[in-house]
Amino acid sequence: MLSTLDVDFLLTNDDGIEAIGLQSLCQAIEALGSIAVVAPDTVRSCCSHMVTTAESLIVERLDSVSWKVSGTPADCIRIAIKHLRIRPKWILSGVNEGGNLGVDIHYSGTVAGAREAALLGFRSMAISQYLRRDRPRDWPLTARRAIYAWTQLQSIDLQPNQFWNVNLPVVDRPQVELAIVHSDPEPQMLGYDFEPIQDQPSDDFASAQTQWVKYRSNYQERPRQEQYDVANCFSGNITATRLGARIAGL
């Protein structure tokens, strides 16, 4: 049996273990304590709370405190706690490349990583960086803002099975200590459509009725009301939402 590994932070994500958001957070948070990383071996974005039960999972150790897993973020947390016997004080999922605001929480693998941690009894936080195509990305600054958000929220009590969902805004100034606004998720969905692909891939088995389509949306134009997380994040605030991991009534 593996011995228990006690650490201050366990990190995961849904963009894959090599993602710059995760790597930037790892580098920055090492100054606060010991870390372990258990993350997917490739991109698992929008996988929601999917877990692998019918297939084998490959767990590859990269160094003394890092593993990659051929599964989802929820799989990674399960492997970390149940198989690798990692015992963190906090579990952080992210930093995700893109916002997880409003109803995004239902689709997000990043949020699911924090949710699975809460179900297993650990204090956890999902952290996502809202992106804009017309603004450059500064991942070291994102990591510092993520740590600032954690330091401000980590002493606030969470009820059993609650966890934090944090979204970082796009702000031109290099200020780390932005306002943190506690917001409920925006209930209106991001609008989307499907665009037909004219140059369809060659497929000898496709029939004349086969269609190829691609998802299309504009995140910046999503509906928003001023009291909810989308509007607050788009306005330049760090948004923090306490979410429940259990279904109401259970």
pLDDT digits (tens, 9 = 90+) for 186-239: 999 999 999 998 876 666 666 777 888 999 999 999 999 999 999 999 999 999
**What's the pLDDT tens digit per position in 188-199?**
999 999 999 887
Q: In 3D, which of 46, 166, 170 has the Cα closest to residue 101?
A: 166
Q: CA 171, 134, 230 angle in degrees (round to 5)?
A: 55
Q: In 3D, which of 49, 46, 151 has the Cα closest to residue 90?
A: 151
**What's the pLDDT tens digit per position in 48-70?**
999 999 999 999 999 999 999 99
**What's the pLDDT tens digit per position in 165-192?**
999 999 999 999 999 999 999 999 999 9
pLDDT at residue number 129: 98
**What's the pLDDT tens digit per position in 71-117?**
999 999 999 999 999 999 999 999 999 999 999 999 999 999 999 99
Task: Report the C-alpha gap between 244 and 246 in whole angstroms.
Answer: 6
Residue 250: pLDDT above 60?
Answer: no
Task: Report the C-alpha gap between 46 and 61 in whole angstroms.
Answer: 25
- Do residues 31 and 143 make contact, with C-beta atoms less than 8 angstroms apart? no
Q: CA 172, 221, 93 angle in degrees (round to 5)?
A: 65
Phi, psi of 185 (to 5 degrees): -65, 140
DSSP 182: E
Q: In 3D, which of 35, 26, 16, 43 has the Cα closest to residue 140?
A: 26
- Do residues 25 and 127 make contact, with C-beta atoms less than 8 angstroms apart? yes
Domains of the chain as residue ranges with CATH? 5-184+223-244 (3.40.1210.10), 192-221 (no CATH)
- Do residues 67 and 61 make contact, with C-beta atoms less than 8 angstroms apart? yes
Cis peptide before 213 (omega within 30 of 0): no
What's the chain's Rg over C-alpha atoms? 19
**Percent of the chain whose pLDDT exceeds 70:** 94
pLDDT at residue number 248: 54
The burial of 15, by beta-carbon neighbours within 10 Å (0-12 exposed, 13-18 middle, 19 or more buried), is given as: buried
